[in-house]
Structure 1
């Protein structure tokens, strides 16, 4: 890098989510395009395009009472939803994991929901 050159990175927020088992989390998210970007015994980062999800070990988490949530805003909501569904995650109103179908929300965006193996609810939001 030359004098005066500074690498500019965009500000961003990345959710920190629980994982009862890193191997199971990698297998689950890997079925619809997430790849391991970093992993050691105490932290893991999965990525898919520009989306990053960071996980910490939480073997004690009860997926049926978990309050963890995150929003993922994507340009191709229908494509992501279809990939998750094709991976075997069922559309249903109860159970873990599950998908809740995409619907137009009163605030003007289309949203679907993915509840992962650890009970984390991911809001899959159609971006602008």
Structure 2
């Protein structure tokens, strides 16, 4: 029986660019037509809708990815050379821990969507 899951729905200014960016992160196309795209990396699934007017600097779209091994994911994605500057889009933070929250890191994609990558282990 498959585990419960939730999929994120995020905006994309351009499906080709979004697919290329997430492809570098290991996501592969599961579905795509002119009005919807689904990218998958193992059990992780992100769905995208066209939104050519989204402002990457003002976007409030976000999703949480909960992983058993955030260290490996972070190490893999860090090899892509994404900036860590708080004003850069896209960007990748280091791993950090906030009070009363699991260890995490953040990835902001080219459209300004925030992915919080949270440690399942706490």
Aligned to 1:78: 71
Aligned to 2:91: 98
- Give 1:51's match in structure 2, choosing from 36, 44, 52: 44
Residues paired across the two proteins, number: 121
Report the Cα distance in structure 2 between the residues aligned to 1:37 and 1:80, rounded to whole angstroms.
Answer: 21
Aligned to 1:26: 19
- Give 2:32's match in structure 1, choosing from 23, 28, 39: 39
Superposition RMSD on alpha carbons, in Å?
A: 1.2
Question: Retained in 2: the 8 A contact 1:85–1:91?
Answer: no
Report the Cα distance in structure 2 between the residues aligned to 1:33 and 1:9, rounded to whole angstroms.
Answer: 22
Do the aligned partners of residues 76 and 9 (structure 1) sit closer, same or farther apart at CA in structure 2, a change above 3 Å counting?
A: closer
Residues 69-88 of structure 1, C-alpha deviations (whole Å, 9 max, x = no match): 10000111011112222122
Q: Secondary structure at the match of 1:101?
A: coil
Unpaired runs of 5+ residues, structure 1, are 1-7
Aligned to 2:5: 12
Unpaired runs of 5+ residues, structure 2, are none
Structure of larger gyration radius = 1
